[in-house]
């Protein structure tokens, strides 16, 4: 899991557009989208924002308090954000 002195740039914010896949997330205001540089198996992290949520995920500790969806590839993460209906 996370290390005590974990670098603050483990999670990198990703754009909501991938030109090579010809995909774009329609509701960009709803999501946070990150690449976890330390996780090789499921590196793509998607978090649904709460109202007026200004959080920034930098460390594993930041990620522990939110419901995150993990994906092994960017295409699945982008599809999830466009097809998620909510509760």
Distance CA 83, CA 71 (A): 14
Report yes or no: 65 and 54 within 8 Å, Cβ to Cβ: no
Report pLDDT for 8.
65
pLDDT at residue 56, as a whole number: 80
33-84 pLDDT, tens digit each: 999 999 989 999 999 988 766 778 888 888 888 889 999 999 999 999 999 8
Q: What is the pLDDT of residues 10-47, one digit of tens each?
A: 899 999 999 999 999 999 999 999 999 999 899 999 99
């Amino acid at each position: 899991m996370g290390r005590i002195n974990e670098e603050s740039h483990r999670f990198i914010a990703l754009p909501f557009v991938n030109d090579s896949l010809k995909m774009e997330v329609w509701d960009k205001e709803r999501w946070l989208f990150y690449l976890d540089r330390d996780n090789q198996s499921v590196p793509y992290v998607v978090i649904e924002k709460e109202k007026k949520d200004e959080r920034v995920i930098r460390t594993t500790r930041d990620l522990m308090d939110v419901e995150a969806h993990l994906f092994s590839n960017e295409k699945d993460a982008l599809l999830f954000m466009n097809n998620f209906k909510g509760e």
